[in-house]
Amino acid sequence: MYLEIQERVRERFAKVVQEMFAVAIAEPVLDIPPRPEMGDLSISSCFELARQLRQPPQKIAEQVLPRLLPLEGVERASVAGGGYVNLHLDRAGIAAALFSLRSPRPATQPSSRGKILIEHTSINPNKAAHIGHLRNAVLGDTFVRLWRFRGDQVEVQNYIDNTGVQVADVVVGFVHVEKKSAAEVERLLRDPAVRFDYFCWDLYARVSQLYEQDKEMLALRLEALKAIEEGRGEMAKIAALVSTAIVRKHLETMRRVNVAYDLLVQESEILRLDFWKCAFELLKRRGAIRYETSGKNSGCWVMSLEEAGPGEAGQEIEAEEVKIIVRSNGTATYVGKDIAYHLWKFALLDKDFGFEEFHRYPDGHTVWRTAVDGRPGAPAFGRASVAYSVIDTRQSYLQKIVGAAFRALNYPEQAANLHHFAYEVVGLSPRCAEELGIKLSADERERSYVEVSGRRGLGIKADDLIDVLFDLKEAMTFEGETGPYLQYSVVRGRNIFRKYRESHPELSPGAAEDPSDLVPPEQLNSLLSGESGQNFWELVVLAAQLETIVEQAIATAEPSVLAKHVFRLAQAFNNFYHRYHILSEPDPARQNFLLCLVRLASDTLSRSLDLMGIEVPPHM
């Protein structure tokens, strides 16, 4: 609704400016005025034009103003604040449209953008998920939901590093500390009395201690790593058992916060299906990497990160910035494997995975997993036109290298469509850590956060989407900017309808109960004017802005934008709820109107909550 009006305003404004001043204006900037009574939309472009036209902004605005209207959806316009053009929207028209629109969604227009591939979660499969992982998954999942809301085709991938150091360490633990065979590990993970993911976590911690006490033990890690990479022997068998079992635990955990996936991409297949070999050949052939025969990187294949042309080189003999892609022992570094994976995402690799069904959610949705020997019937995974990697900010450098590799391979377009959605690492506040029973050193207590290692405590609130610091007390509260506050708003709205139906049993669910049929359009105008009209209108405006907010959240890769907006809507609704008593309203037309507002607000709220994966309980 808002999107269309904004588009019309932009177009008209640009056209008028073009006609009057013969100046082309790229994209007129629309804002929301600071106070609602000033209007619903404002154009600040006259300030910009003032420079070009050498006229005061106020004068330009006054000249443009009369030619802006009539415009569908806009009732009147005014000039204020020394050059702003403020637009007052057609309240009755918009309200009427929204009352009938919001509940049955308008058909989303199919997007021409192609497939959006979003990779998130990507937890090492060697321990239970902790609060930081949960937050990151929720962040990624919300982003997925935003794209889907907009009507785009989205594929969700979860990268499973099942051949890496972290899994290898747990394997070392099972073999050398626990002295267990693969068969015994299998028995253990089938034992319902054992929480296998936590068991592995403890084991992982014990192995880390082992390394610290005796550096010689690190040789065990290398041994395990090699066996796992080559996929042979008892160790590889244990690695596969561990990672598969833990991934199942992760899927369960994520399901509880309504996070789902389409495909699990395993590193083992990247290795075994020679994805890397293929990418390596490509990199060599296109000269993106070179073999070092001398210096400290002798024997390695490296990629130069010099973005600048060769012209300015040689002024100073600085060490060239170089990233090792292939180690001198011939194995690929993580970046190398990541380059191969990303090439596949864009169908730039002359290879494809096999796929097998891995898990089915209660709603019937299937999660597939890569496999060496695939089964037929898998969807066409990959082949993305845009790819997002939801990964923490510490990996920014590595993500940049993947992009650089794309450019070096002469895939500038795909490089531009490769996005790193970087989030900050989650830490516990020292207070929270101590509450969880973690002993802190004096040094840690001084720090602003403690690295997450706790296993208890999960709270979902609106700004988990923006918070970096996790504090159990804060996360578990029910007041303020929290999930329960938002949920409660919806419950309150629904209660009104429940009670209303008790006294109006003739209103069965369905089209007949649509109260907007019962509010004559001419009455909408008077209901939406005056002081209370202003309150009602604010509710309508906030609801109408949902699509605009979603656009903004996607464009800035900042889902918290949505969380903030939902909170504002809930606040406005609670205020409204407090001031106007709906069921005792004597005027039937006004009561119907109020009911429409309640439904608009509560539908928009629950829809927005759904975008964040939050459900609304029937009672609170």
SS3 call for 43: strand
Q: 603 vs 104, 518, 528, CA distance in Å?
A: 10, 19, 20
CB 358 within 8 A of CB 368: yes
Q: Does 33 bind RNA (CB under 7 A)?
A: yes
**Site membership for RNA, residue 620 (CB under 7 A):** yes
- Three-state SS for 72-111 is CCEEEEEEECCCEEEEEECHHHHHHHHHHHCCCCCCCCCC
Q: Cβ(115)–Cβ(74) under 8 Å?
A: no
State which of positions 506-535 bind RNA (CB under 7 A). none
Site for RNA in 459-478 (CB under 7 A): 463, 466-469, 474, 477-478
Nearer to RNA, 34 or 309 (CB): 34
Question: Interaction with RNA in 584-603: which residues (CB under 7 A)?
Answer: 584
Could you tell me which stretch among 30-38, 89-97, 359-367, 403-411 binds RNA (CB under 7 A)? 30-38
d(CA 188, CA 412): 49
Please give the residues from 302 up to 321 whose contact with RNA meets the rule CB under 7 A.
321
Strands 263-266 and 427-428: unpaired
Please list every residue from 56 through 95 that binds RNA, using CB under 7 A: 57, 80-81, 84, 86
Q: How many residues bind RNA (CB under 7 A)?
A: 86
**Is cis: bond before 28, omega within 30 of 0?**
no
- Give least dist CB 343 to RNA, A: 17
Among 103, 333, 366, 529, binds RNA (CB under 7 A): 333
d(CA 62, CA 81): 12
Enumerate residues 428-447 that contact RNA by CB under 7 A: 429
Least distance CB 100 / RNA (angstroms)? 22
Tell me the C-alpha to C-alpha distance, in Å, between residue 151 and each of 105, 125, 436, 557, 600: 12, 32, 42, 17, 21
| Torsion sign, CA atoms 16, 21, 24, 29 | negative
What residues between 529 and 568 interact with RNA by CB under 7 A? 552, 556, 558, 560-561, 564, 567
Binds RNA (CB under 7 A): choice among 258, 297, 304, 523: 297
Which of residues 260, 304, 580, 607 is near RNA by CB under 7 A? 580
Please say whether the beta carbons of 604 and 543 come within 8 A: yes
363 to 402, contacts with RNA by CB under 7 A? Answer: 393-398
Task: Rule CB under 7 A: say whether 574 interacts with RNA.
Answer: yes
Find the binder of RNA among 48, 434, 435, 547 (CB under 7 A): 48
All residues at 6 or more sequence positions from 55 whose CB lies less than 8 Å from its CB, including other chains: 49
CB of 189 to RNA, least distance (A): 23
Q: Give SS3 for 565.
A: helix
Tell me which of 93, 231, 233, 299 binds RNA, using CB under 7 A: 299
* Interaction of residue 280 with RNA, rule CB under 7 A: no
The answer to the question of residue 328 lying near RNA (CB under 7 A) is yes
Is 30 a binder of RNA (CB under 7 A)? yes
**Closest approach of RNA to the CB of residue 29, in Å:** 4
Binding status of residue 2 toward RNA by CB under 7 A: no
Q: Which is nearer to RNA, 29 or 257 (CB)?
A: 29
**8 A C-beta contact, residue 207 and residue 215:** no
Q: Any contact of residue 47 with RNA (CB under 7 A)?
A: yes
CA 92 to chain centre: 35
The region of 67-75, 258-266, 382-390, 580-588 touching RNA under the rule CB under 7 A is 580-588
Tokens standing for residue 274? 């020679």
